[in-house]
Amino acid sequence: MYLIGAELTGKTGFASMVLVHRVRKDLKKYYHVINIKRLSFDSNGNNLIKEVFRIYNDRKYTTRKPRFSQIGRPKKMVNEKPLIFTAFCDYTVEDMQYLKKRNIQANCIFFNDESKWRTEIPGKCLKSDFYISKNTLISTILGVIEQDRLIMTNKESGEELFEAFNEYRKIKDAHVSAQDVKPLEDLVLALAMPVWYYENLLAIRSRRS
């Protein structure tokens, strides 16, 4: 399955989008980074959300998966479009509306300083809202990297990303508040959002039931 993480708060002066292909191998989850885009942020109009829309509708990133019936009917194959995770701010409400008007069910991430994450359904972007600390997201992605489960498809484009992760390793045990802004934070969080979701999928499903 393909995942899209888009950090659109503009707090660093940039907006970032990361396209990830999640695969399973030997019961482990691996995350292949397919595409990275980082643009200068403009509060008058963020073109990155249009790139998210383009990728979402690109058949190349639609996967086929089996859906099983709970009443014994034969399984059927269904199309599964990329799952979107976005972080907005007051300046980017128009980006949120851009997705809603097109009936694209994105998951919204809102940063806070709470020790435990929480979720609300339905969310502001039609799917789910998650309220979570940057610390939780960053520690999750660092754990995946340490287990060699993050794969860069394009090594050159990933150099900047791994440079950022090396900086975050130095402050792994330090508290990063919702107000703090670190270098390349938009890029790190764009990747961390979808990875955190799938690393915690069982817990998320249990809270929804």
pLDDT of residue 209: 55
Tokens 């993050």, residue located:
150
131-136 contacts, C-beta under 8 A, 24 or more apart: 132/196, 133/176, 133/178, 134/176, 134/177, 134/178, 134/180, 134/185, 134/189, 135/175, 135/176, 136/196
Query: What are 50's two structure tokens?
Result: 């249009």
**Identity of the amino acid at 56:** Y
Work out the percent of the chain whose per-residue pLDDT is above 70. 83
Give residue 28's pLDDT: 92
| pLDDT score for 73 | 76
Helices (H), 33-109: 48-57, 93-101
Strand 126-133 versus strand 106-112 pairing type: parallel
Q: Collect all residues with Cβ–Cβ distance below 8 Å to 67 and sequence separation of at least 6.
A: 75, 76, 77, 78
Q: What's the helix, strand, coil split of the chain in %, to 5? A: 35, 30, 30
Average pLDDT over residues 23-28: 90
pLDDT of 44: 44
pLDDT of residue 45: 47
Q: 2-208: what CATH class?
A: alpha beta
Residues sharing a CB contact under 8 Å with residue 178, sequence separation 6 or more, in sequence order: 111, 112, 113, 133, 134
Q: What is the pLDDT of residues 39-87, one digit of tens each?
A: 887 654 467 888 898 999 999 999 988 777 777 777 788 889 999 999 8
Task: Give the per-residue pLDDT at 67.
Answer: 74
pLDDT value of residue 32: 94
Question: CA-to-CA distance for 56 and 120, rounded, in angstroms?
Answer: 23
Confidence of residue 92 (pLDDT cuts 50, 70, 90): low
Q: Is the pLDDT at 95 greater than 60, yes or no?
A: yes
112-156: pLDDT as tens digits: 888 889 988 876 666 888 999 988 998 899 899 889 999 987 766
Please tell me the predicted confidence (pLDDT) of residue 155. Answer: 67
Tokens of 132: 């979570």
What is the average pLDDT value for the chain, to the nearest integer? 82
Q: In which residue are the tokens 């829309």 written? A: 53
- Is the predicted pLDDT of residue 8 greater than 80, yes or no? yes
Going by pLDDT thresholds of 50, 70 and 90, the confidence category of residue 6 is very high
Q: Which amino acid is at 114?
A: E
Sign of CA dihedral 37, 42, 47, 53: positive
- Rounded to two decimals, the pTM is 0.86
